[in-house]
Amino acid sequence: MISVENATLTFNAGTPNENRVFDALNLSVDKGDFVTVIGSNGAGKSTLFNLLAGTVTPDAGRIVLNGKDVTKAPEYVRARTIGRIFQDPLAGTASNMTLEDNMMVCLKKGFKGLRISLNRGRREFFREQLRFLDMGLEDRLKDNVGLLSGGQRQALTLLMMVLSRPELVLLDEHTAALDPRNADIVLSLTTHFVKEYGLTTMMVTHNMQQAINLGNRLLMMDAGEVVLDIRGEKKKDLTVDKLVAMFSEVRNKTFTSDEALLSR
């Protein structure tokens, strides 16, 4: 579905701050995969998503999406097929627009350019969708999104992404800024939508136990490399301790990410 082929990426090339983040990185994700991604700060998780989404272009190598070379395709073009959610609940929705207008933007995206308009039937559909979120949003279609709480906003962002019918979903610690209760709600909505729509998904989390519990494949990154890639039956047998031990074995060093180890 999407692959990174021999991608090399250097920030600030030729300056004292030169930083080669990826050196011939290879990775391929299949349609229907639900991949969890872990790794300490600076491992390259967000930059990997930036490569896939077209936020950054590799210096060498290719990004192939559905068999097409999209290496040079700008982010806004790839955004037609790639949905992305960030940690910041303010990032995915427009504060000064109403819920229904925000939702309409995404629904139009999902209808791939077909002319559709906001009518009674659509409002009822939006209300139903919002009711499903169970966050008290079903009667707030005409409120500005800026009035919502972080949890409500991230749940709405998730719903909107689903309405836009993405082929690939990139979730970058999208529950990390929420309080534990809202984080749980948004996470369970996430797993529901992924399953219901069979969404090909990559999800960065700093919670190792969560990365083990969810999805069919787990990637562990370190210093710009995918150092562990565990799927299927092997993934089902994982524990946090096993994962930490496997990391030590392949990297010859101890996995140090206090945050990740603490959130079991």
Ligand X SMILES: Nc1ncnc2c1ncn2[C@@H]1O[C@H](COP(=O)(O)OP(=O)(O)O)[C@@H](O)[C@H]1O
HSE at residue 128, side-chain half, CA atoms within 13 A, is 7
Nearest residue (CB) to Mg ion, 153 versus 174? 174
Tell me how far, at minimum, the Cβ of 164 lies from ligand X, in Å. 24
Query: Of ligand X, Mg ion, none, which one sits near residue 6, judging by CB under 5 to 8 A according to partner kind?
Result: none
Tell me how far, at minimum, the Cβ of 58 lies from ligand X, in Å. 13
Write the CA distances from 81 to 53, 116, 173, 187, 235, integer angstroms: 9, 19, 20, 22, 28
List of residues 6+ apart from 67 with CB closer than 8 A: none
Taking CB under 5 A as the rule, which mask of x and - marks residues 32-61 in contact with Mg ion? -------------xx---------------
Widest pairwise Cα distance in the chain? 61
Q: What is the C-alpha R_g of the chain?
A: 19
Nearest residue (CB) to ligand X, 52 versus 194? 52
**According to CB under 6 A, which residues from 14 to 73 bind ligand X?**
19, 21, 39, 41-47
Query: How many Å apart are CA 44 and CA 114, to the nearest integer?
Result: 37
Query: Of Mg ion, ligand X, none, which one sits near residue 19, judging by CB under 5 to 8 A according to partner kind?
Result: ligand X
Torsion angle (degrees, nearest 10) of CA 177, 179, 185, 187: 40
E strands, the chain, in order: 2-11, 19-29, 34-38, 60-65, 68-69, 82-85, 168-172, 200-204, 217-222, 225-231
Query: Of Mg ion, ligand X, none, which one sits near residue 21, judging by CB under 5 to 8 A according to partner kind?
Result: ligand X
Assess 205 for contact with ligand X (CB under 6 A): no
Query: Of Mg ion, ligand X, none, which one sits near residue 187, judging by CB under 5 to 8 A according to partner kind?
Result: none
Tell me how far, at minimum, the Cβ of 20 lies from ligand X, in Å. 9
Query: Of ligand X, Mg ion, none, which one sits near residue 43, judging by CB under 5 to 8 A according to partner kind?
Result: ligand X
By CB under 6 A, name the binding residues for ligand X: 11, 19, 21, 39, 41-47
By CB under 5 A, name the binding residues for Mg ion: 45-46
